[in-house]
Amino acid sequence: MTVQEFIIDLRHKTKLERVGYWLQSIFIAVSSIFCIVYVNIKTDKLGNKIPISVTYILLCLLAISIFSISQLLTKYRITTVLNNKSPNIKYADIIAAFARLPVILKEESGNYMTYIYQKNKSVNYEIDLVYDETQICFIVIRYGVNYGGPIDFGKATKLRNMITNELKLI
């Protein structure tokens, strides 16, 4: 499998999930903006006093949706580590690097590997990896209860950095 085939396969694999998260995040952001404007305009015209806490709750909802959108920008990022070793040596080095991490090999075919990193019983991270003559490319995707959601509070990034550090050592 080439790196381009890996990218295309990954896009097809996560297409429904990505579209769902984007629609969910944008819908919540737009609806919270609409509700904030509606509540603040209608209370002035009708003279009703809606508690300010409603506006604060809606602002918190807007902040969460904006944070979710910012997380989605990096959730499906493919990380590349340059390595000019031969494929056989690179394969042995990858196996040795992942042996030092708490991961389980799920699938292996040619130069494509899938690992599972289990943080706890309900949250798993899937690590898809492909390598060629010049580079090692991988992605970390969170799966678990309802497939993780768009926000993981940086845990996938920490795992990505840990894997990058291990692969740079080889």
Token code pair at residue 54? 């409603």
Calpha distance 133→153 (Å, rounded): 34
Which secondary-structure segment (H or E) carries 37? helix 3-46
Q: How much is the pLDDT for 17?
A: 83
| Residue 117: strand, helix, or coil | strand
**What mean pLDDT comes out for the span 59-67?**
92
| Closest to 160 measured CA to CA, from 123, 109, 125 | 125
Share of the chain above pLDDT 70, in %: 89
- CATH: 2.60.40.10, 3.20.20.100, 3.30.530.50, 3.40.50.10330. Which one for 76-169? 3.30.530.50
Residue 60 clears pLDDT 90, i.e. is over it:
yes
3-46 and 52-75 helices, crossing angle to 10°: 170
Q: Render pLDDT for 151-166 as a digit per residue (tens, 0 to 9).
A: 677 788 888 888 888 8
Mind listing the pLDDT tens digit for each residue in 112-145? 999 988 767 767 888 999 998 888 999 988 875 5
Q: Rounded distance, CA 27 to CA 73, Å?
A: 16
Range(s) within the chain of domains with CATH label 3.30.530.50: 76-169
Would you state the structure tokens that stand for residue 35, as one six-digit string?
């509700």
pLDDT band at 28 (very low <50, low <70, confident <90, very high): very high
